Structure 1
């Protein structure tokens, strides 16, 4: 997935399929990355967020901030069975900005056991300022994975978080 920026005006000129095409391309990239890892002998889990929210410290009644990927029920159990916060210590991020959204693949990596979890998500740039501010104030960003009912399945701390944010 390449880092590219496409303004809302540019996206509107090209028509209503821009968002669906961007999501389709993100999912294709997800599968390509997964296949490459598997070819190298890694165990890979791919999940597609039904929704991705960005929360800053100024939203809600919680101190949590960052990216919140909401998984459909059929992805929750495989994620819970695979993710271990002590084992998954590295990450990579791949993304594009298209039509006012950041299309993102976050790869959580367990280097010792050669395992990877790839999470596809999309967030709205206009709603991300609180998260960006919190990340820069705290010098850290969190990826939270949760179920539709709000149950947190796992949290990953990103000390290097710029790849997850829109270009500054």
Structure 2
């Protein structure tokens, strides 16, 4: 009977990753993150990688506030590191490396402080099937946000992305 439930919901099969496609994509995302970090370090930059316990897509109509975008929930050990490094006035640039695989977006977001040559890397994965509201909010506003918060909901920092194509799947890709 348990197999019938999975068969009735093709999305659950995708989330379970029976062929390991998502697992391999996540491994590649982490390898890409490390390669970017090493390249920056080789150029003399200070690099911090922040691992989120969960990344979610949020639309403007999901809560009491108007916040939308990618929300990275970080454990306390990464929260402290993030708050020690991130300053929204200093981190003024970004790069994003994203690819769609098996119904999920795998993204490495790099927040950049060009003046002091510091970089924060945020590897993430989100379910495209649950992101329509975020896509609509981004299209309506012409921007996308990255939010980093703790599990209790405390926002540690927010970054605005004026160009957000690398964060969303490409049509017919």
Which one has a bigger Cα radius of gyration? 2
Q: Distance in 1 between matches of 2:166 and 2:26?
A: 18
Q: Distance in 1 between matches of 2:98 and 2:166?
A: 8
SS in 2 for 1:163: helix
SS in 2 for 1:48: coil
Residue 92 in 1 paired to residue 117 in 2? Answer: no
Alignment equivalent of 2:51, drawn from 34, 48, 54: 48
Q: CA deviation at 1:31?
A: 0.6
Cα displacement string for residues 75-127 of structure 1 (whole angstroms, at most 9, x for unaligned residues):
11000100000000000001121111001100000001100000011111001
Residue 156 in 1 paired to residue 159 in 2? Answer: yes
Structure 1: which 5+ residue stretches go unaligned?
Answer: 1-7
Instruction: Report the counterpart of residue 130 of structure 2 in structure 1.
Output: 127
SS in 2 for 1:133: helix
Instruction: Report the counterpart of residue 137 of structure 1 in structure 2.
Output: 140
Q: Distance in 2 between matches of 1:15 and 1:160?
A: 34
Instruction: Report the counterpart of residue 80 of structure 2 in structure 1.
Output: 77
Instruction: Report the counterpart of residue 7 of structure 2 in structure 1.
Output: none
| Bigger relative contact order (CA 8 A; separation at least 6) | 1
The size of the alignment, in residue pairs, is 158
Q: Distance in 2 between matches of 1:20 and 1:150?
A: 28
Q: Distance in 1 between matches of 2:57 and 2:131?
A: 5
Q: Distance in 2 between matches of 1:137 and 1:61?
A: 18
Q: Distance in 2 between matches of 1:26 and 1:163?
A: 14
Q: Distance in 1 between matches of 2:51 and 2:32?
A: 12
Structure 2: which 5+ residue stretches go unaligned?
Answer: 1-10
SS in 1 for 2:63: coil
- Relative to the length of structure 2, the TM-score reads 0.87
Once superposed, which parts of structure 1, at least 4 consecutive aligned residues long, lie more than 4 Å away? none
CA RMSD of aligned residues (A): 1.6
Q: Distance in 1 between matches of 2:137 and 2:129?
A: 15
Cα displacement string for residues 22-80 of structure 1 (whole angstroms, at most 9, x for unaligned residues):
11111111111000000000000001111111011121222100110111221110001
Residue 114 in 1 paired to residue 117 in 2? Answer: yes
Q: Distance in 2 between matches of 1:165 and 1:123?
A: 10
